[in-house]
């Protein structure tokens, strides 16, 4: 079997979950990885095993200046970086009313603004080297929504809209972007959920149902974390780059049902949509008011 050509990757949030699994798999197959995380010493064992193939640096993605400096250092020391993986993030879990202002700000600063600024900082480097790939880790929750995840969804829906636009801007420079959308995955994501003090008033509501499901480990089927990481790695070799990739059978089915439902609703609203155009007559009720 032909081995893939060696690539150099830049990965945020490499201390655990999908980021760590990607880092391990890439190093094992002979690629180079620039791994960033809050505590680089967590990768000491990998550094001892793989030496110069692993470049590790401390990075908090809520620090925009640090993002720019760290990316510049990685490109400067490693030369070309083929794939930038925006993976750092976490989940804020609670009914919207329960969340604190600080929790909301931190969620948006990490998942949305941090991802935006990483992509913005990477573009000039990728453009100057003649192109490259960006993988933005999103979620099935970037296309649908569950109770108790409102701010997490806001961050993921937000980054998906950003990527949809930016991908069109940078395509002429040979830069492509893929949104990775895992469903529930067997990583430590659930352990990292930040939860406010619950309000009893939500106990017998959909928010309470989801809270109990998560606590009992019954929140949907779980994909294999290492398999998802491998598929994300493989996506970087696909041409043309997929705009999105969904991981997990249940995630695929849920998104399929959501898309179908939206299209059905949209089709039913066509006459309403057309009636808003300037080339259609004003309804009598509006005409009488405006005359």
Active site residues: 138, 152, 156
Closest CA to 112 of 132, 144, 135, 86: 86
Residues 13, 184: Cα–Cα separation, whole Å: 18
CB 33 within 8 A of CB 9: yes
Q: Could you list the pLDDT tens digit for every one of the 291 residues in the chain?
A: 455 679 999 999 999 999 999 999 999 999 999 999 999 999 999 999 999 999 999 999 999 999 999 999 999 999 999 999 999 999 999 999 999 999 999 999 999 999 999 999 999 999 999 999 999 999 999 999 999 999 999 999 999 999 999 999 999 999 999 999 998 887 767 777 899 999 999 999 999 999 998 888 777 668 899 999 999 999 999 999 999 999 999 999 999 999 999 999 999 999 999 998 878 777 777 767 766
Task: Give the side-chain half-sphere CA count within 13 A for 200.
Answer: 0
Alpha helices in the chain, H assignment, sequence order: 17-28, 44-50, 64-78, 101-107, 114-128, 150-170, 206-215, 225-235, 249-268, 270-275, 284-290
Residue 54 pairs in a beta bridge with 33
**Within 10 A of 255 (CB to CB), how many other CB atoms are there?**
19
> Tokens standing for 242?
């997929």
């Amino acid at each position: 079997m032909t081995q893939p050509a060696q690539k150099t990757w830049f990965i945020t949030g490499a201390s655990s979950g999908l980021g760590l699994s990607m880092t391990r798999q890439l190093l094992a197959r002979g690629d180079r990885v620039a791994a960033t995380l809050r505590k680089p010493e967590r990768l000491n064992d990998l550094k001892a095993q793989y030496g110069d193939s692993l470049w590790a640096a401390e990075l908090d993605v809520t620090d925009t200046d640090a993002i720019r400096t760290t990316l510049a250092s990685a490109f400067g020391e490693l030369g070309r970086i083929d794939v930038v993986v925006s993976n750092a993030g976490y989940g804020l879990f609670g009914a919207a009313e329960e969340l604190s202002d600080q929790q909301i700000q931190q969620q948006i600063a990490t998942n949305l603004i941090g991802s935006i600024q990483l992509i913005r900082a990477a573009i000039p480097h990728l453009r100057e080297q003649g192109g490259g790939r960006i993988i933005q880790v999103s979620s099935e929750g970037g296309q649908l929504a569950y109770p108790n995840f409102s701010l997490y969804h806001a961050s993921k829906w937000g980054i998906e809209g950003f990527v949809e636009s930016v991908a069109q801007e940078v395509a002429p420079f040979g830069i492509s972007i893929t949104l990775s959308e895992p469903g529930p995955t067997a990583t430590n994501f659930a352990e990292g959920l930040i939860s406010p003090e619950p309000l009893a008033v939500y106990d017998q509501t959909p928010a309470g149902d989801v809270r109990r499901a998560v606590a009992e480990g019954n929140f949907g089927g779980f994909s294999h974390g290492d398999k998802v990481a491998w598929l994300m790695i493989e996506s970087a070799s696909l041409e043309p780059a997929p705009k999105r990739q969904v991981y997990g059978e249940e995630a695929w089915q849920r998104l399929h049902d959501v898309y179908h439902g939206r299209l059905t609703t949209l089709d039913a609203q066509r006459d309403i949509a057309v009636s808003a155009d300037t080339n259609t007559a004003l309804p009598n009720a509006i005409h009488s008011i405006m005359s």
